Structure 1
């Protein structure tokens, strides 16, 4: 991965089952959105997360910090921007922003660690863009 930030945009609609009794996205579902953003970013780079796991590596959340500014609601069209802000030997940091019609609703930062099947930290796989 290069030193410049890698950014991916994923657009989706809020499903009813992702909401609480007030039709607002339940706060825990944002974590699922962030994971979806990371997986889709890998896919767009030509990598398959399933293949990474098949090779004996798992990318696990070591830290997650979320800031909620405004609620998203059932049937909203949202835009999730996922940015890789730092890559180390065994960890990487992502920044997430979720917008609705240009309004920032949620922002977060995560640290993702790479572990082997025994749970031991191991070097991240090379995640440079692959030809498609």
Structure 2
């Protein structure tokens, strides 16, 4: 599958007292990229929620390689696949000028709004098989 690319710029609000991106903001960056993927697939998460189905991150493994600073132009590069009928896995890197500064492996699952695991919707499974 062709990697998805999501550009972003580091703003002052993203940084900590040392002037580098606050560690938790990398999780926000990769979440935004995943949300873009879902939208580009034509999936409406609000409609899914109205039907009682939501995506939930069940696992994140992250490595902080290098610091980003205010004004840096970054790119989140994501590859993803359906790992099972319930799990959707993502390998994500935040890059600056092509160099990896953060990487994560993310596992998302579909659940009912009541917290019960359910299969990925058929349209997602079909799209991911392409």
TM-score, with normalisation over the residues of structure 1? Answer: 0.87
Deviation track 1:87-118 (CA, whole Å, cap 9, x = no partner) reads: 31111110001110111101110110110011
Which residue does 1:110 correspond to in 2?
A: 106
Residues 23, 73 of structure 1: 8 Å contact kept:
yes
User: In the alignment, is residue 28 of structure 1 matched against residue 24 of structure 2?
Assistant: yes
Partner Cα separation in structure 2 for residue 77 and residue 86 of structure 1:
30
Deviation, 1:8, is 1.0
Match of 2:56 among 56, 60, 68: 60
- Where does the alignment leave 5 or more consecutive residues of structure 1 unmatched? none
Q: CA RMSD in A?
A: 1.5
Partner Cα separation in structure 2 for residue 48 and residue 16 of structure 1:
31
- Where does the alignment leave 5 or more consecutive residues of structure 2 unmatched? none
Q: Give the number of aligned pairs.
A: 125
TM-score, with normalisation over the residues of structure 2? Answer: 0.89
Match of 1:120 among 107, 116, 119: 116
